Amino acid sequence: MNGHQRPPIIRFGAFLTPLAFATALACASAASLIQPSIHTFPAAGVHRPAVPPGTQFECNGPSLGYNCVVQSKPRIVVDFWGDFTPARDTYGVRSYVIDFVVNVGTRTTTYLTPLAQYGVEIPQQLCPPPVRRVSCIWNDRAPPPAEPTVAQVADEAENAAIHFGESFGFNGCPNACDNLNTNIIIVTQRGVKPKDFLAEKNGYCAYHTYLEASDEKPIPRGIVYSLIPYSAGVEQRLPGGKRLGCSGGSVNGQTVNGSLDAIGISLSHEIAEAVTDPVQVTAGPLGYVLPGYLRDPKKLSVDEISDDCQDVKMINIFSVSGLSMAAEPFYSNNTPLPTGGMGYCVIQK
């Protein structure tokens, strides 16, 4: 979902179950940008049931008078926000994220290939080589707030768009950044706790959203971005001995690589959903419209293609630099079922 927040999981010993499912619609304040209030879907507090096999995700646009919007030729740029020196980044999140985003295209893995059914052309590298001497990786060393708000994260997304500029398609910055195909992934330094990250109520592990420009209708242009907090090795202890985390160790066990599972799973979730549902529009009966692929557009569902696959098997999709990269499935309308019919969660290496 736009502003989708990937829920944390609650751990009972080695068993992991989802604690919460939350969604936020968030945009930053700037002279040329609109900031609607955040819209949160409260935590379910129980294991999320998988979507019934045979369900079809549909484009939530034409029935409401909008064109369907996807990232037809997606790209990724990464903004490491804060201190990622080895002394601070003890889990090696920076190198892990770079290895993940540089190799997640078709050159290394077929993981994202099923997204073609939604009108997406997957490149060999989502995070491409330098363009006009501008790298797809940036480290904004300005210290982030200890608990950045949604608006502060959105401000940082605008800072990143200005940095990457026209080399990566952000035309007209800072007044009107016009780019739907590039997802800015903001990774916060260790110790920073964005507002509601791993909160017991309505908490999340990551989210993606859209910073909306005010001067183009009906589909305004702006900035697509995702927030990936530093979740490796991070858990929150709750009353009763419960621990809240982001799937660390769920694929590669209780190792440093396993701690980084939290990062890989959050990245895979937000990348797939930003590609297939990148935009929000401040219109419609709920104050916004999501003109991408949703499970039940007729009911204005906010379930996107990764949301209903969170309880389905997670695996390593490739290895690089001696580390295995974990990911979770997403929904494919074209996946055949043994019992007949089409549509279920898919994950491939």
| pTM (two decimals) | 0.86
pLDDT at 265: 92
Query: Which three-class secondary structure state does DSSP give residue 63?
Result: helix
pLDDT at 25: 25
The strand pairing partners of 323, in sequence order, are: 320
pLDDT at 22: 26
Cβ atoms of residues 298 and 276 within 8 Å? no
Tokens 């993940």 belong to residue: 100
Query: Distances in Å between the alpha carbon of 344 and those of 92, 110, 293, 334, 337?
Result: 34, 17, 15, 8, 7
Low pLDDT (below 50) residues in the chain: 1-2, 9-47, 215-220
Radius of gyration of the chain, Cα coordinates, nearest whole angstrom: 18
The strand pairing partners of 66, in sequence order, are: none
pLDDT at 203: 81
